[in-house]
Structures are given as structure tokens and as C-alpha cells.
A and B are shown apart, each in its own frame.
Chain A
Amino acid sequence: MTRYKLAVLLALAAIPLQAKPRAARPGADALILKALAGPGTGYAAVERVQVFLPGKKPKALKVNVTGLPGGRVRREVLPPKKKAASVIEVRDPENPEAGLARLRSVYDIAVSTGGVVAKRKTWKLELRLKSGALRRALWVDRDSGLLMKRETYRDDGTLRRRERIVKLELPAPVPSSFKAAPVPGPWTPEGFAFAGESGGTRRYTNGLENYEVSKAGGKLVVTGDLAEDDAARVLESAAR
């Protein structure tokens, strides 16, 4: 081997030493706990929620999300028309361990590289039913743990719903006027509100999707447009 070849080989061998070390992939449980705890600082984001109804045009709404340092989140859904009112929702975070236990009881969870969402590098979590069907995919910010994007799929694998942060300021100052606390009551998925009760069946809607909580054979039952983990949480909350 000539001296020249040796020099080239040494230079090539040194390239990996120069490269940035690849971030170690976190465990699924640790990542979910981080996502459920949320970032430690305040943040301001714009989120787009899209719903894909079969055979219909997709529908969307836009939400101004403000995260307070303690984990409380204020969501203001902006109306598409100026003459309509915006809708405000305030939510406190769930105990991360309880949330993880519920997800683990329903899904098998795997972590992979998630790409970039709103200019943030993410990890992707795939939540599969025990049958193997993909139900949800979550994109979690690698630095802060903020949930950047979530997709929900139907049994046939088609996309049912996408929630995505499209603009993010983190950390961000939180306006001092944001002091409202959540109204006590049964837990509902984001954007859903009580729509009425008839014959012992309580109906909830987000204006586009619906679910019902009723009693059948002495047991509470949830039916409607909810993923299994949300349905389980609705039942836990309704049973209390």
C-alpha cells in the first residue's frame, strides 16, 4: 500500500469521528411520560385539527394553544367567520403515570425517528391495537416533549383525524389574563362538549363527530367516534 492510499484511508476512517453523534432513541414509556408531562415552560402554538370523513371533503379548524408553565393548557378555537364566537377550553394535565398505564393497557407502542414538525425534530410513537392494527401515531418534540402531531386511523388503516401544531413559539411568555380554571365535570376529549341527554344516554359532540355514554346491562358503555384510549378515559371519568 502506498503512502498516498494510506493517507486517504485514514482520512476516510476519520469521517465518522467528525460526524455529529446520532441521538439515542428513547424508550417508549419514557417518551410517553415526557409527552404527558408536557414542556416545563410556557408556549404558544397554532394547531390545525383536520377530520377526514369517508366520502366527504375534509373539515378543519384552527386552535390557538397556550401552554402555561404548570401544564395547564388554554385552547381557543377560532371561528372561520368573523361574526361567529370563538370557543375557549381550559384543561389540566393528567397524571402521566395514569395516562401511560391506560395507553399500555390498550396499545402496543413502538418508537421511531419522526422527522420535523413545525421546525422541531421529533420522535414518532406508533400505537397499535393488540390485533396489530395501527390506531394512532404521535410525533413528540425531542427537546421539550411537546406533542407536535397526532394522527388517528380507522380499522381499515385510512386516516380519520390529524391534529398538528403548525406554528410554535417555545418558550413563550403567557399573558397574565389567562387565569381561568377548567370547569369540573366528566372528562371529554379535546373539543367535545355535552350536547344533551335522553333516556339515560348522554350525548357529546365537537360539532362534527359525536359519542354517547349510556348504560347497558348495568355497565357504562361508550359508542361513537372515539379511539380506544379516549373511550377508556371517558368511561373511567364517567364511572367516578
Chain B
Amino acid sequence: MNEDEDARLAKAAMKSLHVPAPESLRAELKRLARKRKPAPTIWDGLREAMSGGAWAYGAGAAFAAAGVGVIILRAVPERPAAPTVAELPALRIEAAPPQALADLWSDDDGGDDDEI
């Protein structure tokens, strides 16, 4: 228990006993109040948070690396997927065998609509 708490406890005890605090106790309380460090402002708190320890440097470096990675990935063009089946070159109709023409047809629903 430090002297600050001692003085405040003493004052509280006297108040509960309805005894006026002696002049020396009041003077001591005032001295302690002056000595007490003021609460840090919001800017001081922010500055303290930003100038963190070693862990903060690590987190910052990881964040920057992730950002650079995202930029590089977006800049590199996506490579088309390798075709699983080789597409054949187009045929001129004059050279197309009847089977190639037959292969062009597929079953249909017979509908009469535009393509969406």
C-alpha cells in the first residue's frame, strides 16, 4: 500500500467517523494530488501505441509485404488454363467430310427465342 492510498484511506476513515481532517492530512492530500501524474492526452496515447515494441515492427513489415504481394499478383496477367482437349482447326465446308457435318448437330428443345 503506497502513501497516496494511506492518505486517502485516512481521510475516508475520518469522514466516516464525522471527525474533521487535521490540517496536516489536508496538506498531504493536496501535495499528493499535485504530484500525481496527469492522464495522458489522446495524442500521447496514439503516439505511444504507434511507437510500439519489436512486435509492432514485425506486424508492420508483414502488412507491407502482403500489400506488395497483392499489387504484384494483380499486375501479372492471368495465364489461361491449359486446354484439356486440343481444339481442332476449322474446316472449309468444301473439304468437310459428311461425318464432320453430322457432328455439328445436337438435340434441341425446338424453342423460338433470342439468345440471352
Contact surface of A with B, Cβ cutoff 8 Å: 46, 48, 50-52, 57-61, 76-89, 117-119, 162, 164, 166-167, 180, 183, 185, 191, 193-196, 205-208
Q: Bound complex: CA of A88 vs CA of B96, how far in Å?
A: 9
Extra A-B contacts (9), CB below 8 Å, given A58-B109, A79-B104, A84-B103: A46-B115, A59-B108, A61-B105, A61-B106, A81-B103, A164-B112, A166-B115, A191-B93, A207-B104
Query: Residue-by-residue, is B80-109 near A (CB-CB < 8 Å gives 1, otherwise 0)?
Result: 000101111111111010111111111111
Do A88 and B91 have beta carbons less than 8 Å apart? yes
Minimal beta-carbon separation of B84 from chain A (angstroms): 9
Interface residue from B83, B90, B99 paired with A86 (Cβ < 8 Å):
B90
The interface residues of chain B lying within 8 Å CB-to-CB of A164 are 112
Do A87 and B91 have beta carbons less than 8 Å apart? yes
Do A50 and B108 have beta carbons less than 8 Å apart? yes
Contact surface of B with A, Cβ cutoff 8 Å: 83, 85-94, 96, 98-110, 112-115
Interface residue from A52, A61, A87, A162 paired with B96 (Cβ < 8 Å):
A87
**Chain A to chain B contacts (Cβ below 8 Å), 11 pairs:** A48-B115, A52-B110, A79-B103, A80-B105, A83-B86, A84-B103, A84-B104, A164-B112, A183-B94, A193-B94, A193-B101
Do B90 and A76 have beta carbons less than 8 Å apart? yes
The interface residues of chain A lying within 8 Å CB-to-CB of B102 are 207-208
Closest B residue to A208 by beta carbon equals B105
Do A77 and B92 have beta carbons less than 8 Å apart? no
Do B91 and A85 have beta carbons less than 8 Å apart? yes
Instruction: Say yes or no: A85-B94 contact (C-beta < 8 A), given A60-B106, A79-B104.
Output: no
Minimal beta-carbon separation of A94 from chain B (angstroms): 18
Q: Bound complex: CA of A85 vs CA of B97, how far in Å?
A: 11
Closest A residue to B109 by beta carbon equals A58
Do B105 and A87 have beta carbons less than 8 Å apart? no
Do A85 and B106 have beta carbons less than 8 Å apart? no
The interface residues of chain B lying within 8 Å CB-to-CB of A208 are 101-102, 105
Do B90 and A82 have beta carbons less than 8 Å apart? no
Do A167 and B106 have beta carbons less than 8 Å apart? no
The interface residues of chain B lying within 8 Å CB-to-CB of A48 are 115
Q: Bound complex: CA of A85 vs CA of B91, how far in Å?
A: 7
| Most chain A CB neighbours (cut-off 10 Å) among B104, B114, B115 | B104
Minimal beta-carbon separation of A5 from chain B (angstroms): 48
The interface residues of chain A lying within 8 Å CB-to-CB of B85 are 82-83
Do B106 and A59 have beta carbons less than 8 Å apart? yes
Minimal beta-carbon separation of B83 from chain A (angstroms): 8
Closest A residue to B102 by beta carbon equals A207
Q: Bound complex: CA of A126 vs CA of B99, how far in Å?
A: 34
Do A183 and B115 have beta carbons less than 8 Å apart? no
Closest A residue to B108 by beta carbon equals A60
Do A207 and B101 have beta carbons less than 8 Å apart? yes
The interface residues of chain A lying within 8 Å CB-to-CB of B109 are 58
The interface residues of chain B lying within 8 Å CB-to-CB of A206 are 101
Minimal beta-carbon separation of A73 from chain B (angstroms): 13
The interface residues of chain B lying within 8 Å CB-to-CB of A80 are 103-106
Closest B residue to A78 by beta carbon equals B104
Do B107 and A59 have beta carbons less than 8 Å apart? yes
Do B90 and A88 have beta carbons less than 8 Å apart? yes
